[in-house]
Structures are given as structure tokens and as C-alpha cells.
Amino acid sequence: MLYHLLYPLHDRFSGFNVFRYITFRSAGAVLTALLVTFVLGPSMIAWLRRLKVGQHVRNDGPQTHLAKQGTPTMGGLLIVAALVSSVLLWSDLRNKYVWVVLFATLAFGGIGFWDDYLKVVKKRSTGLRAIQKFGLQIIASAVIGFFLYYNPGDPNSTSLSLPFLKRIFLDLGWFYIPFVIIVIVGSSNAVNLTDGLDGLAIGLVGIAATANAVIVYLGGNKIIAEYLKILYIPGSGELTIFCGALLGASLGFLWYNAHPAEVFMGDVGSLSLGGALGTLGVVTKHELILVIVGGIFVIETISVILQVGSYKLTGKRIFRMAPIHHHFEQIGWPESKVITRFWIIGIILALVSIATLKLR
């Protein structure tokens, strides 16, 4: 909004010329989202506590988690509020990619909110049934897939760029739509599974947002994209501002979700953030780099698939407990050590993902 209000005045006030720069507006988005979480955080946590929107902790998990019983959840409302308000304030609202990613954030956040509401407020322990939850996620991501398929922002709209390989793009044709569904629904649930330790998921989202900001900025700049031989998506550079807001909201929420957590994000947060990250990867055509950036989310999901598969097929567990963060808790690592070590790996993977842009 500020871009539309102030940039046109730059011929009268030359200082307003800065609003044309994505880097300036991205920095503004980080600080705005951070400020919104700090201003709203304490009162929202008190509000959730007053409403007794407390987490029910299963007793079959790590025993250390039982002390978390009753921690306010649905703090993802704070993340989404900070993220969306900052994006609306700093983005060029004529950019369709901004609205695509905002749609994903709000649609998946709405699904998560419904699930949380049923679990925490209506005391329905299972929340939404799996078929309902997955069905709604598939519909939301199909809307995105069809929109991108029929509104190509670029000639490569249904092609897939491959890490390490320059100028080789795989055209998926109509299969692009189910591909988009798989990426976004997978990403949303991967963050959901990862959100099982204080600050783990939100810290990794902040790392992914930072790496995505660099990748999206470079891929949205014609000169740099040409030099790096990566797909240039006209207009996608504007999503750098979304990544900045995502970083700011993540850092702000981490202030309260850090161990010992005062609040959990709930499915409203985890599904929303995962949906946003997946959509970012799809829109910028860096889906496969997303696998590297979000490597921990992938590992967590694979650990669950392996554990459930092995248990169903052989009755034996591969890990002490899945997702894998619980396995390390069960072998004696303190929660804060698991979290910090997973963040370290996340930072290394983020650096590798940025390096893949040059290693072609």
C-alpha cells in the first residue's frame, strides 16, 4: 500500500524514490512484521490463556512434554496477522504472485484454524478428520495450480527447473497441476509434523524465509537470472517482500515460542506457514531447491513415513519415536539441544540451496 501511496510522490519528494526498491521494502516488511508480533504478542497470549485455548499433550509422547499441558496454542493467528499486514503494507498490490501466496497463507491457515478450533475449543481430540483436512488442502492447492496453469506469468509456466542443471527445464504440461498439489500439501504437512518442539518449526521457517528471499530476489532480476542461468520469472522478485515479512513474523513469534514456550502456533500456524513456503517454491519455480532449503521438514516427514510403514508392515519401529525430533529426545538429548542442532543443519542446508544457484 505504501508503494502505491508514496512512490508516485517521488518527483515532489525525492526521498520517496526508495519505495521503488524491493530491497528497501523487504527491510521494511521484516521490521513491520516483527513490530506487529511484539505489539500484539503479549495481549494475544493473555487472550488465548483467558479463553483456555490450551494444548492437550498426549501422554504417549516424551514425558518431558507433559509439563507443557495447557500451554496456549493457536498462536499462529499472531504469525498470520503480522505476516499479512506487513505484506499488504509494503508490497506492490498489482503483483499477482503476491496474491497467490497470500491466498495460500490464508486458505491453509483457515484449514488449520478449523482443526485447532475443533480440537481445543470443541474438545474434539482428533479435530478435522484426515479426509476432511487433506481434502480441503487439495482443493486449496488445486485452485493455485489451475490459476498458475491458466495465468502463466512466463513462457515456462509448466516447466520445472532442476538444481545444478542450467537451462534444462522439464515441461510437465497438464501434470503441472497435480505436481503443484503434491508440493504445497506436502510442504504444509511437513511443517505441521515438524512443529513438535519449542521454536523448532518457526526457527526453520525463518531460515527458509531468508534463503527464499535471496533466491527469489535473484530469480526476479532479469540481469542476475541471466548471469546465473536460472529461470527468470517476471514479477516474482516482488515476493522478496513476502519473504521479508515471513522472516520478521518468524523472529517475532520465536520470541514467545522459544523454549520454554509461552505459546504454540497450532495448526493455524504450521499449515499456513507450510502452505506459504510450498507456494513460494511453486511460484518461483524453485520447487526442488525448496527440498534443500526445507531439508529438515523433508527429513521429519520421511522419518514418519518410514516409522509408520515399518510399524504397519513388521510391527517394529525404526526410530524410538517419530517424527525424528522425538527420537533424539528419547535417546537423551535435551529438547533445547535437539532444537539448536536442527537449526544448525537448517542453516547449512539454506546456504547449500543458495550455492546451487551458482553450481550449474
Does residue number 197 form part of the binding site for ligand 57M (CB under 6 A)?
yes
Ranges within 280-319 binding ligand 57M (CB under 6 A): 304, 307-308, 311, 317
- Gap between the Cα atoms of 168 and 152, Å rounded: 19
- Gap between the Cα atoms of 286 and 104, Å rounded: 17
Selected from 32, 73, 279, 301, the binder of ligand 57M by CB under 6 A is 73
Instruction: Work out how close the CB of 281 gets to ligand 57M at its nearest, in angstroms, rounded to a whole number.
Output: 20
> In the complex, which residue's CB is closest to ligand 57M?
61
In b/e form, how buried is each residue of 291-327, taking b as 16+ CB within 10 angstroms? bbbbbbbbbbbebbeebeeeeeeeeeeebebbbbbbb
Instruction: Work out how close the CB of 39 gets to ligand 57M at its nearest, in angstroms, rounded to a whole number.
Output: 21
Instruction: Work out how close the CB of 318 gets to ligand 57M at its nearest, in angstroms, rounded to a whole number.
Output: 9
Does residue number 184 form part of the binding site for ligand 57M (CB under 6 A)?
no
Contact 84, 102 (CB under 8 A): yes
- Sequence-separated (6 or more) residues with CB below 8 Å from residue 7: 16, 17, 19, 20
- Gap between the Cα atoms of 256 and 220, Å rounded: 34
Ranges within 37-56 binding ligand 57M (CB under 6 A): 55
- Gap between the Cα atoms of 78 and 75, Å rounded: 5
Does residue number 61 form part of the binding site for ligand 57M (CB under 6 A)?
yes
User: 14 burial class (0-12, 13-18, 19+ CB within 10 angstroms)?
Assistant: exposed
Of 12-20, 57-65, 130-138, 224-232, the segment contacting ligand 57M by CB under 6 A is 57-65
Phi, psi of 78 (to 5 degrees): -70, -40
Does residue number 68 form part of the binding site for ligand 57M (CB under 6 A)?
yes
Instruction: Work out how close the CB of 291 gets to ligand 57M at its nearest, in angstroms, rounded to a whole number.
Output: 20
Does residue number 264 form part of the binding site for ligand 57M (CB under 6 A)?
yes
Ranges within 324-353 binding ligand 57M (CB under 6 A): 326
Task: Report the interface residues with ligand 57M, using CB under 6 A.
Answer: 55, 57-58, 60-61, 65, 68, 73, 192-193, 195-198, 257, 261, 264-267, 270, 304, 307-308, 311, 317, 321-323, 326
